[in-house]
Amino acid sequence: MLSKLIEYFKTKSISFNLYALSSIILLIPSFILFVTKHQYFIIYSEFTMKYILIPLFSIAFMIDIFTVIKSLWKTIFGKIIYSIFGYFALTYSQSLAKNSIYHITNENPDFYQTSTQFLSAIYLIPSWIISINYVISIIIIIGSIIIFPIMFFKFEKITSVLNKLSKIINVDVKIQKHNIIHMIFIPIASITFFANSMAIIPTISKVFDNIFISKSIIKYSYYPNKTCRNVNINQYIKLIETSKVSVSNINTIEYLLLNYGANNKKITFKTKECVRF
């Protein structure tokens, strides 16, 4: 029995296995706990939903969508769509970069053009992936509301229409009768991704933490003080307008020799008046 089950999952895609695995981990123990130890049912189900099912469903959904995206890239239609998404992703990544810079320096991000460009490049790919998956998840949700009620009664007809549509836009994805379980998972995954997609951005911000962003700002926008006589000659500064300066707590020796500060101390920024030499 177990060997047959293993063989069954070996024939399935990675995304299907992620859907199935996370569902099994959630549903079977939750049912057992609901019947036997009801006091632990809520604790287990909430933990599993938050840290296993939602992440795995989101990853599996992105894998499924990437299959379609990869096929669409071969067509003119797909390239046009990706160009449009690329523009919005770039705008969004620039917005994220400016928010990060403002949060750390408390200054107008427009003064930090080079840092903005660098951080925008870091945020670009996640923004692009999220934008595409976000839009496609909406399309799938709306399509599922229309298709799902009749799927079980006219599944073959629906798959025929979807396969014809895939052929028209030259997408190398073929839906067959044995894909029905996978087809049920996808709209559920799209709703899961849609509902939790905004939580992905704070996660990305944690990956590119304040230390990384602060180091990037220092590297690309600040320079050793040779302008303001009321600031230590070794400190890194950034001129703000004509009479103000943003001063970091990093000095030249530490910046060059000790990896942005002795013992990786916290990088801080403070704005003050600049008395020029």
Q: Which one is predicted more confidently, 139 or 151? A: 139
Q: 37: buried, middle or exposed (CB in 10 Å: 19+, 13-18, 0-12)?
A: exposed
Structure confidence at residue 246 (pLDDT): 94
Structure confidence at residue 142 (pLDDT): 81
Task: Give the contacts of 207 (CB within 8 A, at least 6 positions apart).
Answer: none
Structure confidence at residue 233 (pLDDT): 86
pLDDT interval class at 166 (50, 70, 90): low
Structure confidence at residue 210 (pLDDT): 75
Over residues 232-249, the mean pLDDT reads 89
User: Range with the lowest mean pLDDT among 109-113, 118-122, 252-256?
Assistant: 252-256
- Sheet strands side by side (includes 269-273): 223-224, 235-240, 244-251, 269-273
| HSE, side-chain direction, 13 A CA sphere, residue 224 | 8
What mean pLDDT is reported for the chain? 80
Structure confidence at residue 113 (pLDDT): 92
**Most confident residue range from 41-55, 136-150, 167-181:** 41-55
Strand partners, 248: 269
pLDDT interval class at 276 (50, 70, 90): confident
pLDDT interval class at 264 (50, 70, 90): low
HEC profile of 178-201: HHHHHHHHHHHHHHHHHHHHHHHH
User: Domain residues of the chain, as ranges?
Assistant: 14-210, 222-273
Structure confidence at residue 262 (pLDDT): 46
Q: Which one is predicted more confidently, 239 or 256? A: 239
Contact 158, 150 (CB under 8 A): yes
User: Which tens digits make up the pLDDT trace of 57-99?
Assistant: 988 988 888 877 777 777 777 788 878 888 888 888 898 899 8
pTM for this one? 0.68
- φ, ψ for residue 19, nearest 5 deg: -60, -50
Q: Does the pLDDT value for residue 198 go beyond 70?
A: no
Q: Does the pLDDT value for residue 175 go beyond 70?
A: no
